[in-house]
Amino acid sequence: MTEPIQSQSLLAARHIDASFATRDMHTGLRGLTRLFARPARRQVLFDVSAEVSAGECLAVIGASGSGKTTLTRIMLGLGTTDSGEIAYRGELVSHGSAGMRALRAESSIVFQDPYGSLDPRWTVERSVSEPLWLRRRALGYAFDEVGAKTVQALARVGLDPREFLGRYPCDLSGGQAQRVAIARAIVNEPKVILADEPMSAIDVAARVRILETLQSIVHGSDEKTSGAGALGDAPGERPALIVVSHDLGVVQHIADRILVLHDGCVEETGTTAQVLGSPRSDYTRRLIEAASL
């Protein structure tokens, strides 16, 4: 029997096992029995638990293939599990459930490649405003409010709306494109944001501004953004942010807690100061040493 999900967690995963079907593409047609047999499965997550609260940033770190993206997609209701449970606002997330509907409506994703996530045929204004148009009636926004919210979201990520609303992705630098993607992710004021390697495709100079943007979103507005349609200042009103990253420098500055995955298992978890300052696991120590080289 699984333990109850902690009520103070906005989004929680408990005892997650997950596997993928694998097929041998070199066997050919060696008989109908093998052709129609159930494909073998490879387990990628083993009894993994994770949780994040409103106004908190959880960083999920680990080497490539450790299961970071699989776990976070499952937490947002975008992947299936073999066993375990996901809960959002205390409601179980399953196909067709109220918890699933609420999570889908109140979450957003910032992808690794901003150019791949932005439609090259759409202006910045159309890309950023799209989530509002899709849910305008549910959110209760009038037509003119959509434009105002779009302008606020761009200002929130440090882009001048007068300069950028009419631009296309091809007119943007990598850092500008990623900030547009972040503006689109926050424009409808989601409760949970997943940022999957949001800075790996961005040059070093642009990372500073993006880091500041993400910090202000989850930890509250600063002097630069307090008048730009910032999300709520009270911790319970701010969104939860889940960051998948291999950049421990970024993690150190933005994360409140860290979950370390290794070959689909939780290696250790704790506050950022605990995990990076006094790691208990040899694997975590190797990650830190590699990042320091």
Taking the mean position of all CA atoms in its chain, how far away is CA 91? Answer: 20
Average pLDDT, the chain: 86
> Quick one: average pLDDT of 120-133?
95
Written out in words, the top-level CATH class of the domain with range 11-19+43-292 is alpha beta
Q: What tens digit of pLDDT does each residue of 148-161 get?
A: 999 999 999 989 99
**How high is the pLDDT of residue 220?**
72
In the chain, the amino acid numbered 52 is: V
**How high is the pLDDT of residue 223?**
39
Give the integer Cα–Cα distance in Å for 72 and 287.
Answer: 20
**How high is the pLDDT of residue 243?**
94
Domain parsing of the chain, residue ranges: 11-19+43-292
- DSSP class of residue 135 equals T
**How high is the pLDDT of residue 228?**
43
Q: Which residue has the tokens 């029995």?
A: 33
- DSSP class of residue 198 equals T
pLDDT over 70 for what percent of the chain? 85
**How high is the pLDDT of residue 8?**
73
Which pTM was predicted?
A: 0.86
Flag whether pLDDT at 198 surpasses 90. Answer: no
Q: What tens digit of pLDDT does each residue of 55-100 get?
A: 999 999 998 889 999 999 999 999 999 999 999 999 999 988 999 9
Q: What is the DSSP string of 48-73?
A: EEEEE-TT-EEEEE-STTSSHHHHHH
> Quick one: average pLDDT of 181-203?
89
The answer to whether the CB of 225 falls within 8 A of the CB of 137 is no
**How high is the pLDDT of residue 214?**
86
The answer to whether the CB of 218 falls within 8 A of the CB of 266 is no
**How high is the pLDDT of residue 138?**
78
In degrees and rounded to multiples of 5, residue 104 shows phi and psi of -60, -40
Q: Which residue has the tokens 């120590």?
A: 285
Neighbouring residues of 222: CB distance < 8 A, sequence distance ≥ 6: 212, 216
What's the token pair of residue 31?
């008989």
Flag whether pLDDT at 176 surpasses 60. Answer: yes
Q: How many helices (H) and strands (E) in the chain?
A: 13, 10
